Structure 1
Amino acid sequence: MKIINICNRVIEFSFYFLFFFIPLILFGTTSELFEFNKMWFTFGITILISVSWIIKSIIKKQFQIQKTPLDIPILLFLLSQIISTLFSWDFHVSFWGYYSRFNGGLLSTISYIALYYAFVSNFTAKNENNKIETLEGTKMVKNVLLVSLMSGVVVALWGIPSHFGYDPTCLVFRGTFDVSCWTFDFQPKVRIFSTLGQPGWLAAYLAILLPISIYFFIKNFKHKDNEEKSSFFDLKFPDKPKPILLSLFYLSSIILFSISLIYSVSRSGVLGVLISLGFFVAVYIWHRYKKSSINLPILIILAGLIVLILSNQTLINLKFDIGSEPTNIAKESSEQIQEVKPHVEALGGTDSGRIREYVWSGAIEAWKNYPLFGTGVETFAFAYYKYKPVGQNLTSEWNFLYNKAHNEFLNYLATTGIFGLGSYLLLIGYFFYLLFKRLKYAVLKPQENRLPLLTLALLSSYISILITNFFGFSVVIVNIYFFLIPAFVLLQEKLIDPERKIMIPKTVSENSDSSKFSPFQWSSITITALIALYFLYTLYVYWDSDKLYAYGSNLDKAGYPQEAYKYLHKAVARRSSEPVFKDALIVNNANVAAQMLLESDKVTSESAQQASAIAQEAINISNELTLNYSNNIVFWKSRVRMFYTLSQVDARFLPQALEAIRRASELAPNDTSILYNHGVLEGQNGNINEAIRVLEKTVTLKPDYRDPHFALGLFYHQAAVDKNGKVINQEFFQKGVDQMQFILNRLSPTDDGAKEALKSWGKL
């Protein structure tokens, strides 16, 4: 029927759009350029596919879900994510995902699983005449992979010029064909990231595509004239591209992917490629050798590719990817933790492998305290603060916010417990079991069995995902491949029985295919379409509100709180259920209120009343956030900033700032930045002895941190003298002097603050 055909085409092309556009999508006006927009596009595509699938089912009067060998592992994994979300430290974060990323939240997992079942259910169906209603599964798989290669070529061509100082992203968003739109610490001339957002993410993506491009090159290269050649797109083009042109395209893609991988300078990416390609080449050569049909040109190309990667970048000189990625053009935007500093590892700093050890250690410690279901899906940012290893304070990234464990497996362990990691490993392990059952005959008895080359390539790509995920974490496009590659392989190897389906209802009447729709069918189709439109509109409102939030946050951080005020209020008004928007608003409100009251020459009773109302609004919102999200340390830190800012115009707010920082210290007992601020606030509230105790702990945890040494010296001195300035405690007086001398001797010989203090104390 016509509507069913339309639905089939929508589903088909939605998958093409998914694999082509996800790697490419980025926007310069959102709070995060890359992952946020890719995740939102994935949500939108999932809605389109799902609604088309449902409408098709309504017309057929039966909803069919294809059963697959991976059903039990997938459902167990989904169940683990649901349970972990229900018991999460932060339900909102677990459901939606960590703000700005969103990948990894329960909603994203549901989307990936929905895409998996949509693919296997819609490209294996047959009608009663045994004719294919949609593209046959194996053809669809090859089409999607070809689309993936085309997208990958665009990504590579977009990224390679940035290595030489010409970034198309800057041209699009700034109108300058250079790299000036990126901050100094995110220079693509050092490590390219193209449209993916981080060098490691680009490398992980390319590692997936390389075995696939090699497969198509080999397959096209060895075509005989009498063999059936697969069309380039299976879209009924008038003329099929000549094999030589396809070979050039595939070879070019291999070269472009390899060059981009080298310029990404990613240790995990190169390691993933070497292991996955090593596996691919070893199995391929073994099989061809046993059949005495090794193709020398192909062997030379494959060997040359591996040598090229190894000779240009040794694993010793490469970098693991730790830290943050560029989140906005020209300026770091909307980081929820103000003290977080930009990523410096690529340009210097502590070895990333050492930093990774600390992050992994924190993940394991979090799991030990929440062994069954973890701290909650995507709550690692909060869990790591709680269980941060002391050694992290001695690295160059001592004050970074880690919202991932930089190991996908440990991330699942910490946030979803042994149930989450166990079901994740079961899914991977059972998929490998199914594949190796298929491949072993081709390997053990190559003379009698053909080598399923595409399956081998897809397995190699899957192996690369596991390698890069082990040293990092998945992003949107990687997770799409993680869930869809098994679908591709199951269809390719005919491991799915089209007759085994979940059918609701189990039987339909004989006239179920009638061209006339009943009123119930029309009503169901209309309701389904309206629900889909509502979901799409909700996504748009959320995305548009984020742009307001991003702009307002940037204005506030740039020192224009009153200009930012209206944008942040609009963001909250449009998406009142997003706590991150409210968190930015409370800080802005405090800045606006303080600014209004500090302008003494302009203060009137009316403006004072208005400032008081704005401050009270901030307090009310902060009360709401810290009550509903009591384990979210980000909101407690914002509460400290809010009360401290207000205390600059009204000292009565200072005790409330102290109360908030004490709670923050409980949530982050080894975070020296929080401890430093805690100590200072204790002292400002008159608790000198407690201030000294907290600051002594701070300098013990991080001896090279100048600010707590300076504050500790001041409080030692304050405790050592009476109100007339006479020394009454010689021990504390000397400790204060020692702190200032430590700064000058060990940290900064030209420190003016320390010199001035010693001079005023008569010690310089």
Structure 2
Amino acid sequence: MSLTFTYSRGATLGLLAGFGVFAAAMLINFKKIAFVLLAVFLINIFFGSAFNRFNVGQFFQVKPAPSIAERKADTTKPAPAGGTQLENGGTESGKIRLIVWKGALEIFRKYPWFGTGVETFAFSYYQFRPTEHNLVSEWDFLYNKAHNEFLNYLATTGAVGLLSYLSLWVVIGIGILGQLKHSNSSHQTGIAIAWLTGLVAQGISNFFGFSTVAINVLFWLGLAWLGVWTHQTSLASATPVQNSSAPTLTGWNWMKAAGITILSLWTITLVLTWWSADRDYAASKALLAAGSYELGMTKLEQAIAASPSEALFWDELANQYSRLAVALKTSPQASTSGEVITQLSQAAVAASDQTLALNSRHLDFHKTRARIFINLSQIDPTYLTQAQAALQTAIKLSPTDPKLVYHLGLVEISAGQTSAGLAHLEQAVAMKPNYLTAWFDLGKAYEQAGQPTNAIATYERLLELSPQNPEVTAQLKALQNLDQTP
């Protein structure tokens, strides 16, 4: 069903490759029924059937040429006003993958032997993120995987990790082929063919994507199954040994059993604690989004109490404290709530400090910290200095991210550092030439700085990118009229 409705090219290639292996193995081992199965499958794949709507032919269909009326209507159709690439169709996923793969290879070149650490791609990628990523529709998304399982291992565990991972595939493949060669029954042969087919399909699918939990479970279950099956096969072929005495459990056996039981119970308890903390966190997010701040904050504090080493929970707590402080500052009770506002502001900063103490490499936590100080600057403008420092740290972690440079420019302008702010806004649009918001704010900054010529040029450039933008058109006309006034 997933393949039918997603038209995933990686999964399709995996399916076709797996079927090729399946067909070859069936032709070798089950010649009588192989041709029938092959014919049914090919008909289903290429022409579809009543059971699915997928067929390979849809990838090769040629659209009929549009009529003259259709072409005329298309040329008079106005361009979308200010829409993002994603809203207008999005960048082709293959192009995005190639960019992410390039970044993964750059990580490997920097850390060739052991990589940056297991499950650290979300941290390390942004330090090596290619600048061309700024021109795709998903330019500001979080990439926690390389969209290629093998490159993901290469980037995060280096050559040592990738070779170890590939060795598992080789061991499984050799084991399955060995079982297939020495199989004495059609049942065992069929199972071996099925596992070999799945292994090939999974490998190719993983090359164009990354394994999910379900796929990883299948992989490790396959490895465990191979070990059990190999052991059973060797036992079946071995000469039975007569042993009339029943095995007895020694004290050492009981100690090992007790140790395994205690370790298992501790592991289960730990997992259940994490699960409960995640549930409380999810509940707090839902409650806070619905406006139930008291219940939401209670749930969030429960999540932190259950899992105090989870930086994400502290990050959310800091964000919510800052929002509550600003909300109270702008409320009618602000004049009588000065002490509470101060306490909430200090609590937000302390929670953000704790977040970075637990994880100082995650870019999102530095973004949150900057947002917290920007929010708190509505209470005390001196927080802008700390917001500026947080953004500068974030830029070190992600030097090609134009959004960070853009916000740094806005903060500097708000802090009265006009020259530095203009320079960073100019840098942001240079990094991402189609960054409409940055172009508009750069134009306004030029106006405020008394540079109408630069402002006019900026708005004209923005109209080239977004011709149907009424706000920019009005702003430009007002400036041009002002410039023509004697």
Query: Could you tell me the TM-score, scaled by structure 2's length?
Result: 0.82
Measure the CA separation in 2 of the matches of 1:298 and 1:440: 22
Measure the CA separation in 1 of the matches of 2:122 and 2:453: 40
Structure 1 contact 490–496 (Cα < 8 Å) conserved: no
Secondary structure, counterpart of 1:458 in structure 2: helix
Structure 2 contact 463–472 (Cα < 8 Å) conserved: no
Please tell me whether residue 649 in structure 1 is matched to residue 379 in structure 2.
Answer: yes
Measure the CA separation in 2 of the matches of 1:750 and 1:381: 35
What's 2:151 paired with?
410
- Rate the CA distance shift 1:490–1:532 in 2: closer, same or farther, 3 A: closer
Secondary structure, counterpart of 1:551 in structure 2: helix
Of the candidates 424, 432, 442, which is equivalent to residue 165 of structure 2?
424
Secondary structure, counterpart of 1:651 in structure 2: coil
Please tell me whether residue 635 in structure 1 is matched to residue 374 in structure 2.
Answer: no
Q: Which runs of 5+ in 1 are unaligned?
A: 1-155, 157-202, 204-260, 319-340, 500-509, 722-731
1:469 is aligned with what amino acid?
N
What's 1:304 paired with?
43
Deviation at 1:760, TM superposition (A): 5.3
Measure the CA separation in 2 of the matches of 1:577 and 1:343: 38
What's 2:90 paired with?
349
Deviation at 1:352, TM superposition (A): 0.8
Deviation at 1:296, TM superposition (A): 5.4
What's 1:537 paired with?
269
- Rate the CA distance shift 1:295–1:366 in 2: closer, same or farther, 3 A: closer
Of the candidates 261, 267, 279, which is equivalent to residue 9 of structure 2?
267
Measure the CA separation in 2 of the matches of 1:473 and 1:309: 28
Measure the CA separation in 2 of the matches of 1:563 and 1:707: 36
Measure the CA separation in 2 of the matches of 1:315 and 1:591: 54
What's 1:483 paired with?
220
Deviation at 1:609, TM superposition (A): 1.4
What's 1:513 paired with?
248
Secondary structure, counterpart of 1:576 in structure 2: coil
Please tell me whether residue 280 in structure 1 is matched to residue 22 in structure 2.
Answer: yes
Deviation at 1:526, TM superposition (A): 5.9
Deviation string for 1:367-413 (max 9, x for gaps)?
A: 11111111111111122211111111111111111111110001011
What's 2:452 paired with?
733
- Rate the CA distance shift 1:568–1:425 in 2: closer, same or farther, 3 A: same
What's 2:352 paired with?
622
Measure the CA separation in 1 of the matches of 2:98 and 2:54: 27
Measure the CA separation in 2 of the matches of 1:295 and 1:655: 72
Of the candidates 448, 461, 486, which is equivalent to residue 198 of structure 2?
461
Measure the CA separation in 2 of the matches of 1:342 and 1:739: 20
- Rate the CA distance shift 1:266–1:757 in 2: closer, same or farther, 3 A: same
Deviation string for 1:681-729 (max 9, x for gaps)?
A: 122222222222222221122111111111222223333x3xxxxxxxx
What's 1:759 paired with?
478
Measure the CA separation in 2 of the matches of 1:419 and 1:690: 45
What's 2:99 paired with?
358
Secondary structure, counterpart of 1:425 in structure 2: helix
- Rate the CA distance shift 1:666–1:281 in 2: closer, same or farther, 3 A: same
- Rate the CA distance shift 1:549–1:484 in 2: closer, same or farther, 3 A: same
- Rate the CA distance shift 1:763–1:743 in 2: closer, same or farther, 3 A: farther
What's 1:718 paired with?
448
Deviation at 1:512, TM superposition (A): 6.3
Structure 1 contact 455–489 (Cα < 8 Å) conserved: no
Structure 1 contact 455–492 (Cα < 8 Å) conserved: no
- Rate the CA distance shift 1:748–1:648 in 2: closer, same or farther, 3 A: farther
Secondary structure, counterpart of 1:532 in structure 2: helix
Structure 2 contact 46–55 (Cα < 8 Å) conserved: no
Secondary structure, counterpart of 1:406 in structure 2: coil
Secondary structure, counterpart of 1:734 in structure 2: helix
Deviation at 1:647, TM superposition (A): 0.7
Structure 2 contact 326–376 (Cα < 8 Å) conserved: yes
Structure 1 contact 562–592 (Cα < 8 Å) conserved: no
Secondary structure, counterpart of 1:704 in structure 2: coil
Structure 1 contact 381–403 (Cα < 8 Å) conserved: yes
Secondary structure, counterpart of 1:312 in structure 2: coil
Deviation at 1:675, TM superposition (A): 1.8
Deviation at 1:272, TM superposition (A): 1.0
Measure the CA separation in 1 of the matches of 2:324 and 2:212: 37
Structure 1 contact 658–678 (Cα < 8 Å) conserved: yes
Measure the CA separation in 2 of the matches of 1:428 and 1:593: 54
Please tell me whether residue 579 in structure 1 is matched to residue 311 in structure 2.
Answer: yes
Measure the CA separation in 2 of the matches of 1:556 and 1:343: 31
What's 1:20 paired with?
none
- Rate the CA distance shift 1:368–1:559 in 2: closer, same or farther, 3 A: farther
- Rate the CA distance shift 1:387–1:525 in 2: closer, same or farther, 3 A: same
2:216 is aligned with what amino acid?
N
- Rate the CA distance shift 1:644–1:343 in 2: closer, same or farther, 3 A: same
Structure 1 contact 743–751 (Cα < 8 Å) conserved: no
Please tell me whether residue 470 in structure 1 is matched to residue 207 in structure 2.
Answer: yes
Measure the CA separation in 2 of the matches of 1:744 and 1:472: 38
Measure the CA separation in 2 of the matches of 1:649 and 1:450: 74
- Rate the CA distance shift 1:419–1:641 in 2: closer, same or farther, 3 A: same
Of the candidates 675, 689, 692, which is equivalent to residue 419 of structure 2?
689
1:79-118 correspondence runs (5 A): none
1:218-237 correspondence runs (5 A): none
- Rate the CA distance shift 1:379–1:302 in 2: closer, same or farther, 3 A: same
- Rate the CA distance shift 1:498–1:636 in 2: closer, same or farther, 3 A: farther
- Rate the CA distance shift 1:268–1:536 in 2: closer, same or farther, 3 A: same
Secondary structure, counterpart of 2:433 in structure 1: coil
Deviation at 1:608, TM superposition (A): 2.1
What's 2:68 paired with?
none
What's 1:661 paired with?
391
Measure the CA separation in 1 of the matches of 2:327 and 2:134: 35
Range moving further from structure 2, 381-390 or 301-310: 301-310
Structure 1 contact 636–661 (Cα < 8 Å) conserved: yes
Measure the CA separation in 2 of the matches of 1:684 and 1:665: 19
Normalized per residue, which structure has more helix?
A: 2
Deviation string for 1:576-628 (max 9, x for gaps)?
A: 111111111100010011111211x21354x3212212221221121232244
Secondary structure, counterpart of 1:396 in structure 2: coil
Structure with more contact order per residue of length (Cα contacts < 8 Å, sep ≥ 6): 1
Measure the CA separation in 2 of the matches of 1:355 and 1:665: 22
Q: Sequence identity, in percent?
A: 32
Of the candidates 334, 346, 354, which is equivalent to residue 603 of structure 1?
334
Deviation string for 1:62-85 (max 9, x for gaps)?
A: xxxxxxxxxxxxxxxxxxxxxxxx
What's 1:503 paired with?
none
Query: Could you tell me the TM-score, scaled by structure 1's length?
Result: 0.54
Deviation at 1:482, TM superposition (A): 1.1
Measure the CA separation in 1 of the matches of 2:57 and 2:417: 52
Structure 2 contact 304–310 (Cα < 8 Å) conserved: yes
Deviation at 1:344, TM superposition (A): 5.3
**Length, aligned pairs only:** 450
Please tell me whether residue 746 in structure 1 is matched to residue 465 in structure 2.
Answer: yes
Structure 2 contact 45–55 (Cα < 8 Å) conserved: no
Please tell me whether residue 380 in structure 1 is matched to residue 117 in structure 2.
Answer: no
1:38-437 correspondence runs (5 A): 203=2, 261-289=3-31, 293-294=32-33, 297-308=36-47, 312-314=54-56, 317=59, 348-437=89-178
Deviation string for 1:219-254 (max 9, x for gaps)?
A: xxxxxxxxxxxxxxxxxxxxxxxxxxxxxxxxxxxx
1:568 is aligned with what amino acid?
L
Secondary structure, counterpart of 2:99 in structure 1: helix
- Rate the CA distance shift 1:314–1:559 in 2: closer, same or farther, 3 A: farther
Structure 2 contact 285–296 (Cα < 8 Å) conserved: yes
Structure 1 contact 740–757 (Cα < 8 Å) conserved: yes
Deviation string for 1:38-76 (max 9, x for gaps)?
A: xxxxxxxxxxxxxxxxxxxxxxxxxxxxxxxxxxxxxxx
- Rate the CA distance shift 1:422–1:299 in 2: closer, same or farther, 3 A: closer
Range moving further from structure 2, 468-477 or 304-313: 304-313
Measure the CA separation in 2 of the matches of 1:700 and 1:690: 15
- Rate the CA distance shift 1:303–1:744 in 2: closer, same or farther, 3 A: closer
